[in-house]
Structure 1
Amino acid sequence: MPHPPPRFSRRHLLLAAAGTTLNPAWAQTATAWTEIDKAARGQTVYWNAWAGSEQTNAYLQWVAQQLKASHGLTLQHVKITDTADVVKRVRAEKAAGRGAGEGTVDLVWINGENFATMKREGLLFGPYAEALPNFRWVDTRGKPTTLNDFSVPTEGMESPWGMAQFTLFADSQRLPKPPQSMQALLALARSQPGRITYPRLPDFHGTTFVKQALVELAPDAKALARPVTDAAFAAQTAPLWPFLDALRPHLWRAGKQFPQNAAAVRQMMADGELLLAITFNPNEAANEIAAKRLPASVVSWQFEKGTIGNTHFVAIPYNARAKAGAQVVANFLLSPAAQARKADIAHWGDPTVLDLARLPAADRALFQTGNLPGLVTKGAPTLPEPHASWVDPLEKEWARRYGV
């Protein structure tokens, strides 16, 4: 049985609504959340979020419309291409002495090394996430990455709102037997030279491709969950570079060039130039088929022994002006209605973070999708991301070896 929520004075509740950090239990009382909701009304929340997808942008517009109607706040999508730029901005604001309520960012779409950096440098407000009313529906047991971001504990400093897992897709008429491991992919590349590739690092999907190979080939996968050291990097990447060396001459354009991003790879696959494409959204192919940008013969799969998976989050900078409004946004993003719309391939197709089995029947019914073409038919185990500190040295070493 859960412990009853603590009682707070009205002063504590008002401090919470204003954004003062308290124990995560403070927002568990209906009265406290009412105060936060009240403080949020009339606020403008500047949400810095990736804007590289029309469907994602449209979904964020829908969220803004819903919040305006139901909570009286304005959600402004600040479109960005790289979250690292937001981290630099908040860091610069801290260096300039811009304290609580003086920042330019109220909410940021974030995960991985960017979260690790902001947490380490004290650039985040919180903890707040686990106290959100809708957090009770999050599947923290079945989806442990909702509490652990690139092996860095979230500790309530960011709120989950979507799942991701490294997935491949291809036209089954061209590739009837998809490779089930990185070694099998190498064998396929050797038999079909020039018809496989991956994005140039530091593109996120390119880095994930390399991390997938690292996780499969590392002598001690558990070492990847710890902060990187020079010795650990040398030992665990020892099999990786020979693998990438062997793969490179059989890639598109003999590995002398790499596509800029996953969208370019997907288009080349759709045009028949490449055999397969990669994504971090298991529903992307189904989404593209529904939009008639890919044929219904395209199938999606994950390697039999598993692929890298993680959760993406929203976080609130330490000096956000609209902390109450940002919490209301984060809570709405966890609502069954918002999660169901996001999971619907007609709108986005981003997998939910919620535990559907625990939802009320009416809410659970919102997630029924049926057997749509392009969906992953047999899910594979989710392999944990290496610790966030591995990303930078991996990208730098890849660039040194293959970036010319």
Structure 2
Amino acid sequence: MRGFICLVYTLLFSLSLSASSFAGTTDWQTLRQQAKGQTVYFNAWGGDPAVNSYLDWVAGEMKQHYGVTLKVVRLADAADAVKRIQSEYRAGRKDNGSVDLLWVNGENFHTLKQAGLLKEGWAWELPNWRYVDQKKPVREDFSQPTEGAEAPWGSAQLMFIGNAQSGMVFPRKASELLAFANAHPGKLSYPRPPDFTGTAFIEQLLIVLTGNPEALRQPPTAANLQQVTAPLWGYLDKLHPLLWREGKTFPTTPARMDRMLAEGELLMSMTFNPAHVDNLIGRKQLPATAQAFGFEQGMLGNVHFVTIPANARAQAGAQVLANFLMSPQAQIRKANPAIWGDTTILDSAMLPPSLGEQLNAQKPAHLQTVPYLAEPHAAWVNALEKEWLQRYGAK
């Protein structure tokens, strides 16, 4: 009985956590009152059943605890919502917009922010911001300062996946990856860019190989593009002949690589979700000896954000929703591999001990933790993909 009472207390405490430290903050209380009764249209990627199920749960919590009706607009591509926002502004629709909250990637955020189409300065004022892990890149997106125009709600990191059976030692540096490929010809590959994970792998190599990493924080120029990327192309010229099918063709998706790993056709796969290997093991698609690992100096990581268009009709409700998405209750549930397995953006050390323990309990069991490496400026993505396709895409 005592355990049940403690559980109930913890859940109630997590729900009230945002208000407990801000009970005297008139702005937050006013915002909550304004949000009550509003309908929030949250435009989010709808391509994953786990994500969809999680957002259905969020909708129930928002209705029950905040009086906010959440309508999830499931997108195949966030760019569709960006085009809609742009079209509304061109048509003179400066308020009462159709998008209240948007799950946005770095490129789309940059597009909207540069055009002045986002509400700024709100995210850092939310009560649950104080629990966010500031060691993660939560104040910038693709090297662009967010200026409080985005609220983080999850994070991701490029990781390799391998089966550690038979004592196999996996590479922890770029030089070791090349040596590993040489020792196991035809057993490595990566998704063909512009697949997101394939491009992330190219970015990862660029970050650790270039002699000018600071240049990656700004858009590439005609003067520095070749100089910054030369070590990358030299490395890939050596790596590709050692890959699956001699690097003349590439798997189309990370999911295809997962199957090839399970069947023994490859020795490594890759993912942008550190909990993915636990999910594969749980579904018995990989043995319990599988693990996620990365380079010792770090792996490319990012934070996914939500943002509010400047013409959103339910701005108060959108902020209350963004705050809930950062709450310990929502983050603990989202981090559970059985529900979604999305990595938290909270610092468990900043939470009350009971909640910190619950959050830590959701960490993937088959993961070797490595530091986060910040993403290059968004403009490097197109430049790298274009050059990669010219060099290797026609083979």
TM-score, normalised to structure 2's length?
Answer: 0.88
C-alpha separation between the residues in 2 aligned to 1:137 and 1:370?
Answer: 17
C-alpha separation between the residues in 2 aligned to 1:94 and 1:174?
Answer: 60
Q: Do residues 119 (structure 1) and 122 (structure 2) align? A: no
1:35 equivalent in structure 2? 30
1:353 equivalent in structure 2? 345
> Shift of the alpha carbon at 1:347?
1.4
* Residues 131-210 of structure 1 aligned to structure 2 (within 5 Å): 131-140=125-134, 142-143=135-136, 145-173=137-165, 176-210=168-202
> Shift of the alpha carbon at 1:237?
0.5
Per-residue Cα deviation, 1:60-110 (whole angstroms, up to 9, x for no partner): 121112112112222222222332333233222222222122x22211112
C-alpha separation between the residues in 1 aligned to 2:319 and 2:192?
Answer: 36
SS in 2 for 1:206: helix
C-alpha separation between the residues in 1 aligned to 2:83 and 2:193?
Answer: 20
Answer whether contact 1:129 1:157 (CA < 8 A) is retained. Answer: yes
C-alpha separation between the residues in 2 aligned to 1:399 and 1:292?
Answer: 36
* Residues 287-326 of structure 1 aligned to structure 2 (within 5 Å): 287-326=279-318
> Shift of the alpha carbon at 1:271?
2.3
Answer whether contact 1:111 1:311 (CA < 8 A) is retained. Answer: no
Tell me how large the CA RMSD over aligned residues is. 2.0
Per-residue Cα deviation, 1:116-169 (whole angstroms, up to 9, x for no partner): 2221111211221001111111122x22x0112121111100001112222111
C-alpha separation between the residues in 1 aligned to 2:324 and 2:54?
Answer: 13
Which of 348, 355, 371 is the aligned partner of 1:381? Answer: 371
> Shift of the alpha carbon at 1:251?
2.4
C-alpha separation between the residues in 2 aligned to 1:153 and 1:107?
Answer: 19
Distance change (3 Å), C-alpha of 1:63 and 1:218: same
1:386 partner letter:
P
> Shift of the alpha carbon at 1:29?
5.7
> Shift of the alpha carbon at 1:261?
2.1
Per-residue Cα deviation, 1:266-291 (whole angstroms, up to 9, x for no partner): 22212222111111222211122223
C-alpha separation between the residues in 2 aligned to 1:67 and 1:51?
Answer: 19
C-alpha separation between the residues in 2 aligned to 1:175 and 1:50?
Answer: 39
Distance change (3 Å), C-alpha of 1:209 and 1:28: farther
What are the ranges of 5 or more consecutive residues in structure 1 without an aligned counterpart? 1-26
Count of residues in Structure 1 that have an aligned counterpart in Structure 2: 373
C-alpha separation between the residues in 1 aligned to 2:186 and 2:370?
Answer: 28
2:333 partner letter:
R
1:391 equivalent in structure 2? 381
Per-residue Cα deviation, 1:13-41 (whole angstroms, up to 9, x for no partner): xxxxxxxxxxxxxx996332222222222
Which of 56, 61, 77 is the aligned partner of 2:56? Answer: 61
Which of 227, 250, 259 is the aligned partner of 2:219? Answer: 227
Q: Do residues 70 (structure 1) and 65 (structure 2) align? A: yes
Distance change (3 Å), C-alpha of 1:239 and 1:155: same
SS in 2 for 1:87: helix
Q: Do residues 249 (structure 1) and 241 (structure 2) align? A: yes
Answer whether contact 1:46 1:77 (CA < 8 A) is retained. Answer: yes
Distance change (3 Å), C-alpha of 1:372 and 1:45: closer
Distance change (3 Å), C-alpha of 1:81 and 1:256: farther
> Shift of the alpha carbon at 1:374?
1.8
Q: Do residues 332 (structure 1) and 324 (structure 2) align? A: yes
Distance change (3 Å), C-alpha of 1:62 and 1:291: farther
> Shift of the alpha carbon at 1:334?
0.8
TM-score, normalised to structure 1's length?
Answer: 0.87
